[in-house]
Structure 1
């Protein structure tokens, strides 16, 4: 009887383990989350200022349970580069400025920030810190860089050093990606 009880307990634990393993979140595939619109009262997650008061592309980090909005692409990237944010499941979005007015970016044209082309050094007005113009198309980014003397960058070329130097030096539009 005692042996039968041990066998039953072992069998119960084995079945329970299989059920738990089958429900493991690692096996779950989440659908990508879509960007949301910006509204007049939205505040920047970093500085708390009203997002709509600044020209230029905005940024947002969207997860299944929350949305964090930023008054600029640079603010969003700076937030994303913080180590505690690297392991979170956020989709990052910025405005495609080839399809938007600089002073009123169109939320219908939000694009994946990791795939975007960034132009620094344009001299364009924007929120505090670095002003980064964002584009879905490399040729559009190059055209703005040629007109303004800026330079084209990719998402993974922008780091905290660049953003910090650009924020301290209000001549941020003249810094290269390596800070010179």
Structure 2
């Protein structure tokens, strides 16, 4: 009887088709030398600071962004809120500001954000991103800014802090 159960389980698993593959969680990928920002078209690798990536529902290609500010401006737009699926940002507690390492992406929706700091990324101010609130608080103490969760972010907050404290 046990053999039949294993055989049935094998058949059920074999029946999992493409639709199940499409619903699997996707992962962040390396940012290549010539990759361009989905929002502004600038070459991503030319800039310091945290970057972001996102998948939209029904779209196979990952969207790459030259800064967390560009990712968030895209993600928080009303027409994109429903389409975004997975999003990642660099964990800046694990990587140098000048050249973030793509081995240290974290889930953008569980990250801690520091907006309005003096640290800059592509085209100026950007949101610093961290996996740990205590590290985000320490960063804000050193460089200024406000510590927020993803759910607290709004386009208004991102853009009001557009000029940082240089």
Q: Is 1:52 paired with 2:45? A: yes
CA distance in 2, matches of 1:29, 1:36: 17
CA distance in 2, matches of 1:164, 1:147: 21
Q: How does the TM-score come out when normalised to structure 2?
A: 0.80
Q: Check conservation: 1:120, 1:173, Cα contact below 8 A.
A: no
Aligned to 1:172: 164
Give the drift of 1:128. Answer: 2.3
* Structure 2 spans left out of the alignment, 5+ residues: 1-16
CA distance in 2, matches of 1:61, 1:128: 20
Tell me how large the CA RMSD over aligned residues is. Answer: 2.3
Give the drift of 1:118. Answer: 0.6
Question: What is the aligned counterpart of 2:98 among 85, 99, 103?
Answer: 103
**Higher fraction of helix:** 1
Which has more radius of gyration? Answer: 1
Give the drift of 1:157. Answer: 1.3
Aligned to 1:161: 156
Q: Note the alpha carbon deviations across 1:155-176, whole angstroms, 9 max, x for none.
A: 1111111223344xxx2348xx
Q: Is 1:150 paired with 2:142? A: no
Aligned to 1:81: 76
Q: Check conservation: 1:129, 1:166, Cα contact below 8 A.
A: no
Q: How does the TM-score come out when normalised to structure 1?
A: 0.74
Q: Note the alpha carbon deviations across 1:45-76, whole angstroms, 9 max, x for none.
A: 11100111111000010256121000111111
Question: What is the aligned counterpart of 1:125 among 120, 125, 140?
Answer: 120
Give the drift of 1:42. Answer: 0.6
Greater relative contact order, per chain length (Cα 8 Å cut-off, separation 6+): 2
